[in-house]
């Protein structure tokens, strides 16, 4: 792994997402109910992934800059996420506050309000031993309320010589405008399997993500998710390009979310009991 001095932009998946049914590969006698059941669980998994990857992307940028107080420019913000945020850095107490005020729309078209608060130690994101703890203050994205705590720790190089991070998410929650919500805890490992040293141009960065999560929703239903084949995210693609996740709702069959074999597109397949449906990632 190269010694990086540039600012990374780390995204796992599309920012706050919903999954909509596109077409089915097979049909059975209860296709309608089957589709709704499958898509609901995949939607909740992807919404969780999108919410957290959005936060991680923003936090990566903010904890890699040396400026005390600044408004990010388009050059600083490769994905256009922080176009209207003010970032305040308290270098004495090692706290970064990303403030979206009462609401502003960034270059990515998403409207955010409130604050992301980062307590950090050990250098920058790419420094072995670096750690950041992310919390929120009245933070909303497109009217969805995001809560919880995320602790990210740089473990240094693994046996393959790749930098990797442990991501421990506790009491995460997304509440929609209609009051429905889902909560989750997760433990992940992120491994950077390729990358370059170009400032603000992480197009050839590639990340491998493994781990598991569990959670529940406002209906009282519980669900667990295990990454069965590492999710692969390339810096030059907005989507996860490959990998599989087994999603197991309480007292219901496992359904597998498959992101494909490496093509950069917004398609994934959900399969339950041998019935598969092609879906769009939004």
Instruction: Compute the distance between CA of residue 44 and CA of residue 257 in angstroms, rounded to an integer.
Output: 12
| End-to-end CA separation in angstroms for the chain | 33
| pTM given for the model | 0.78
Specify the DSSP class assigned to residue 142.
Answer: T
Among 24, 90, 48, 7, CA closest to 224 = 48
Count of alpha carbons within 13 Å of 36, Cβ hemisphere only?
Answer: 3
DSSP, collapsed to helix, strand or coil, labels residue 152 as strand
Decide if 185 contacts 215 (C-beta within 8 A). yes
Q: Which residues pair with 247 in a beta bridge?
A: 225, 255
Specify the DSSP class assigned to residue 14.
Answer: -
Instruction: Compute the distance between CA of residue 218 and CA of residue 6 in angstroms, rounded to an integer.
Output: 41
Instruction: Compute the distance between CA of residue 107 and CA of residue 118 in angstroms, rounded to an integer.
Output: 22
SS3 sequence of 202-258? CCCCEEEEEEEEEEEECCCCEEEEEEEEEEEEECCCCCEEEEEEEEEECCCCCEEEE
Number of C-beta neighbours around residue 179 at 10 A: 7
Instruction: Compute the distance between CA of residue 84 and CA of residue 99 in angstroms, rounded to an integer.
Output: 9
What Å distances lie between residue 47 and 71, 120, 165, CA to CA? 28, 26, 22
Among 278, 276, 247, 246, CA closest to 265 = 278
Instruction: Compute the distance between CA of residue 240 and CA of residue 237 in angstroms, rounded to an integer.
Output: 8
Among 17, 58, 59, CA closest to 39 = 17
pLDDT, one tens digit for every residue, the chain (282 residues): 444 433 333 333 332 233 333 333 333 334 445 555 555 666 667 677 767 777 887 887 777 655 444 444 445 555 556 667 888 889 899 999 999 999 988 777 788 999 999 999 998 788 899 999 999 999 999 999 999 999 999 999 999 999 999 999 999 999 999 999 989 999 999 999 987 534 445 567 788 999 999 988 888 888 899 999 999 988 777 778 999 999 998 888 999 999 999 999 988 899 999 999 888 875
Instruction: Compute the distance between CA of residue 191 and CA of residue 106 in angstroms, rounded to an integer.
Output: 28
Specify burial of residue 173 (Cβ count, 10 A radius: 0-12, 13-18, 19+).
Answer: middle
């Amino acid at each position: 792994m190269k010694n990086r001095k540039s600012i990374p932009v780390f995204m796992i998946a599309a920012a706050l997402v919903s999954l909509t049914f596109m077409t089915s590969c097979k049909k059975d006698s209860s296709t309608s109910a089957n589709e709704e059941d499958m898509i609901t669980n995949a939607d909740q998994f992807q919404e969780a992934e999108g919410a957290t990857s959005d936060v991680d992307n923003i936090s990566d940028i903010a904890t890699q800059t040396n400026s005390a107080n600044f408004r990010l420019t388009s050059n600083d913000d490769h994905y256009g996420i922080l176009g209207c945020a003010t970032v305040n850095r308290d270098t004495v107490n090692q706290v970064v506050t990303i403030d979206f005020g009462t609401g502003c729309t960034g270059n990515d078209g998403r409207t955010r309000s409130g604050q992301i608060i980062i307590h950090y130690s050990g250098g920058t994101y790419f420094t072995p031993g670096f750690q950041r703890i992310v919390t929120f203050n009245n933070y909303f994205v497109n009217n969805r309320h995001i809560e919880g705590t995320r602790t990210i720790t740089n473990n240094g190089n693994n046996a393959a010589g790749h930098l990797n991070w442990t991501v421990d998410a506790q009491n995460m929650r997304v509440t929609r405008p209609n009051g429905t919500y889902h909560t989750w805890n997760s433990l992940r490992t992120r491994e950077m399997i390729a990358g370059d040293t170009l400032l603000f141009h992480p197009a050839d960065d590639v990340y491998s993500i493994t781990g598991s999560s569990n959670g529940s929703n406002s209906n009282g239903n519980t669900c667990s998710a295990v990454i069965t084949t590492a999710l692969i995210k390339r810096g030059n693609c907005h989507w996860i390009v490959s990998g599989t996740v087994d999603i197991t709702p309480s007292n219901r069959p496992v359904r597998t979310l498959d992101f494909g074999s490496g093509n950069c597109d917004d398609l994934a397949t959900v399969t339950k009991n041998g019935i598969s449906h092609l879906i769009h990632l939004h």
